[in-house]
């Protein structure tokens, strides 16, 4: 859009500002449409939030929704599935920043290390850095697109989420460490392989984190950390009554909106932290420093995934 506006005779700076104005206005229109179109629907099958007990006024609904925020944070600490999903959201968003922001900065820093002789050389160097950065980002997103259906299929069963997240974090650690070890942005097969690993890691963590959060909210099959609820009211003094009370796993569907908000909040925190800390490290330690930081994030998520796998394996073994 900025280039199209410049062709209309608008100055480059003003064209960029107008682009942001258009994007902001579009966001406002979309939010209004969503507010009007996504009406609240009462779930007649809900067991925890009966229609008769739901808050009636807007103020009561707002207070009820705000009171659920501390509950979700507590569950994020006590429930391994939700906690791992929120941590994965943090790492996924930080990976997006690493690919879209720090790869172009790395390329630009490498190209600028070769001083230009005149203005024409400066323009050519800038164009070369832009082309290389676009190529690397494109390769990364291409591999993310190719592996998206694969990672989308794997978590269909909850146990496969562990495999997806493990493979994605290992790809991230290898890709970011490999990229940080490079001394040049010259396009080589090794460089293509590293950015491909970054794209695979990014899409894998995104899909796995969404799957973990979805299982936490909706799954009633008893994932790790979910509470078993025994319905003693199901026992009646009759011959047809069951010998044992009905037992089901408690779901958290009534918290799905709050969980979605906290999930996005975790990703937003990652963006703020990585842009600030990564930028400082880039300026003081070198262009490779942000990639080591991202490798550290992926390593922490890998260790958390291993712990989650151990808990899940212990639970399945105990059920047998």
What is the Cα–Cα distance from 127 to 123, expressed in whole angstroms? 6
Q: What is the pLDDT of residue 278?
A: 92
* pLDDT tier at 72, thresholds 50, 70, 90: confident
pLDDT at residue 23, as a whole number: 93
Least confident of 5-9, 174-178, 254-258: 254-258
pLDDT, mean over the chain: 78
Greater confidence (68 vs 59) lies with 68
Beta bridge partners of 247: 230
- pLDDT for the residue numbered 34: 86
Q: Give the position of tokens 């880039």.
A: 282
79 close to 97: Cβ distance less than 8 angstroms: no
pLDDT digits (tens, 9 = 90+) for 123-180: 555 677 878 888 898 999 999 999 998 888 876 655 566 788 889 999 999 999 999 9
Residue 25 class from Cβ within 10 Å (0-12 exposed, 13-18 middle, 19+ buried)? exposed
Among 224, 214, 220, residue whose Cα is nearest residue 159? 224
Residue 238 phi, psi dihedral angles, 5° rounding: -145, 165
Q: Which residue has the higher pLDDT, 44 or 199?
A: 199
Comparing CA positions, the residue from 16, 14, 13 lying closest to residue 2 is 16
**What would the mean pLDDT of 199-212 be, rounded to a whole number?**
91
Instruction: Give the C-alpha separation, 50 to 44, whole Å.
Output: 8
Q: Are 227 and 127 in contact (CB under 8 A)?
A: no
What pLDDT is recorded for position 117?
A: 47
Pairwise CA distance, residues 256 & 94, whole Å: 23
For the record, the structure tokens of 160 come out as: 């496969």
Q: Please, which pLDDT band fits residue 291 given cuts at 50, 70 and 90? A: very high
pLDDT at 281: 92
Q: Which residues contact 91 (CB under 8 A, 6 or more apart)?
A: 169, 172, 205, 270, 297, 298, 300, 301
Q: What 3 state SS string does 37-51 have?
A: HCCCCCCCCCCCCCH
Q: pLDDT digits over 208-254, tens only?
A: 888 888 878 776 444 444 444 444 454 445 455 555 455 455 566 77
pTM attached to this predicted model: 0.72
Note whether 98 and 274 are within 8 A (CB): yes
Look at residues 234, 226, 85, 68 and name the one whose alpha carbon lies nearest to residue 155: 85
Lowest mean pLDDT segment, chosen from 8-12, 248-252, 258-262: 248-252
pLDDT at residue 193 is higher than 80: yes
Q: Which two tokens stand for residue 106?
A: 């790395």
């Amino acid at each position: 859009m900025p280039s199209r506006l410049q062709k209309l005779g608008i100055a480059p700076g003003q064209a960029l500002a107008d682009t942001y104005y258009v994007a902001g206005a579009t966001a406002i229109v979309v939010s209004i449409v969503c507010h009007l179109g996504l009406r609240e629907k009462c779930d007649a099958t809900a067991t925890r939030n009966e229609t008769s007990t739901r808050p009636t006024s807007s103020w009561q609904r707002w207070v009820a929704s705000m009171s659920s925020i501390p509950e979700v944070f507590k569950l994020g600490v006590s429930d391994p599935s939700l906690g791992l999903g929120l941590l994965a959201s943090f790492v996924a968003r930080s990976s997006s920043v690493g690919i879209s922001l720090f790869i172009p900065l790395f390329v630009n820093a490498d190209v600028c290390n070769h001083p230009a002789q005149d203005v024409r050389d400066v323009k050519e160097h800038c164009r070369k850095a832009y082309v290389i950065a676009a190529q690397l980002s494109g390769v990364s997103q291409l591999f993310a697109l190719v592996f998206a259906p694969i990672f989308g299929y794997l978590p269909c069963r909850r146990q496969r989420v562990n495999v997806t997240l493990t493979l994605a974090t290992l790809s991230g650690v290898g890709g970011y460490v490999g990229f940080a070890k490079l001394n040049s942005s010259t396009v080589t097969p090794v460089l293509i392989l590293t950015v491909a690993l970054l794209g695979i890691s990014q899409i894998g963590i995104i899909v796995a984190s969404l799957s973990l959060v979805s299982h936490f909210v909706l799954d009633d099959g008893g994932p790790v950390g979910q509470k078993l609820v025994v319905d003693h009211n199901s026992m009646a003094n009759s011959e047809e009554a069951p010998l044992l009370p009905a037992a089901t796993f408690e779901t958290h569907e009534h918290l799905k909106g709050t969980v979605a908000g906290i999930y996005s909040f975790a990703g937003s925190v990652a963006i703020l932290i990585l842009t600030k800390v990564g930028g400082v490290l880039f300026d003081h330690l070198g262009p490779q420093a942000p990639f080591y930081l991202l490798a550290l994030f992926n390593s922490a998520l890998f260790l958390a995934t291993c712990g989650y796998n151990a808990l899940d394996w212990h639970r399945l073994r105990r059920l047998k």
